[in-house]
Amino acid sequence: MAAPKVAVVGAGVIGLSTALCIMETCPSCSVTILSEQFSPNTTSDVAAGMLIPHTYPGTPIHVQKQWFKETFTYLFAISNSAEASEAGIHLVSGWQVFKNTPKEELPFWSDVVLGFRPMSKAELQKFPQHQFGQAFATLKCDCPPYLLWLEKRLKATGVQMYTRKVADLWELHSEYDIVVNCTGIGAHQLVGDKKLFPIRGQVLKVHAPWVKNFIRDGDGLTYIYPGIHRITLGGTREKENWSLSPDPGTSKDIFDRCCSLEPSLGGAQDIQVKVGLRPSRQCVRLQREVLSQGGVKLPVVHNYGHGAGGFSVHRGTAKEAACLVGECIAALQDSSSRAKL
């Protein structure tokens, strides 16, 4: 059988990393990325890129932990390399604070991040409205540079990238042997996934270089995430809201909430507003499927629905999707050798 042709649809962090993992595990493949949008116009470009996992109710915790651990290990190695600045990845320490002590004082990911511990009484004095907190160091990914770094890696391995709107996965069957669906919220329409819904996120990107530590309210709504060049202030989680237009009232509310956690932000400059639609469902859709029409079959691998937690698990789910592509290739080779008999 000739080198299998694989199309990856979608060029956010999930699509690009899945394509990279496919090239790493099946180097004989020919991989093409097709997407209506590339960076800086993807949902991933809006993401804060902070490695603090979101929990998926429909996925076993040990699986989520494995995804997170693989992602953390991968990005930690980049953060310790000469490419850290170009890839936009750095370590940042800080605090997650709670108004009431959470049921789970030790989250499932506490031994993956670095130096996880309860905050001292003295540290908590910085947050008079909060009575419990956790201190740790984790990785922060500045998303636009990271996406460009991934694209550069892909081009170096010979991956082709084309701007193209795919209206139906079946339209690719004559050109490709396997299709990988990494379309995020686009899968709602593309494959009619009714379990997928948007959670609208509005954030501010500001210049405040004196703020060095991340601060996250335990409710997950208010957060301050320092990047290499700008700080992301958040945020909102608006279920089923498809609007990409920034709301000025929401921006003021986000800014006020962040200033109550870190009053020095009152002097922040150059405030930009960004909006993205997180592709959410009870669990990430990571599975193989075979589409067939008139006896013709098209193997498909789905990898989408990461919601607010895409950056925290992107490498782990990409590796799993690449394994599924490997299974599809093995099945194709098996059927082509049987056809020759």
State yes or no: 183 annotated in a binding site.
yes
Domain that holds residue 9: 5-339
- pTM to 2 decimal places: 0.95
Among 316, 255, 260, 245, residue whose Cα is nearest residue 286: 316
Q: Which helix (H) or strand (E) holds 25?
A: helix 13-25
What distance in Å separates the CA atoms of residue 271 and residue 231, rounded to the nearest whole number? 10
For 13-50, the pLDDT digits (tens) are 999 999 999 999 999 999 999 999 999 999 999 999 99
pLDDT reading at 339 higher than 90: no
Give the pLDDT of residue 1.
Answer: 65
pLDDT reading at 338 higher than 90: no
**pLDDT grade, residue 219 (50/70/90)?**
confident
**pLDDT grade, residue 69 (50/70/90)?**
very high
Give the pLDDT of residue 334.
Answer: 81
For 172-206, the pLDDT digits (tens) are 999 999 999 999 999 999 999 999 999 999 999 99
What distance in Å separates the CA atoms of residue 140 and residue 230, rounded to the nearest whole number? 12
Q: Number of structural domains, the chain?
A: 1
State yes or no: 43 annotated in a binding site.
yes
For 99-143, the pLDDT digits (tens) are 999 988 899 999 999 999 999 999 999 999 999 999 999 999 999
- Cβ distance 276 to 47 under 8 Å? yes
Q: Six-digit token pair at 265?
A: 């932000």
Q: Which residues of 140-169 are buried (b: 16+ CB within 10 A; e: fewer)?
A: bbbbbbbbbbbbebbeeeebebeeeebeeb
CATH at residue 23: 3.40.50.720
Give the pLDDT of residue 289.
Answer: 97
- Cβ distance 181 to 326 under 8 Å? no
State yes or no: 338 annotated in a binding site.
no
Please identify which residue in the block is written with the tokens 């335990």.
218
State yes or no: 223 annotated in a binding site.
yes
Beta-carbon neighbour count of residue 83 at 10 Å?
Answer: 15
Amino acid at 277: L
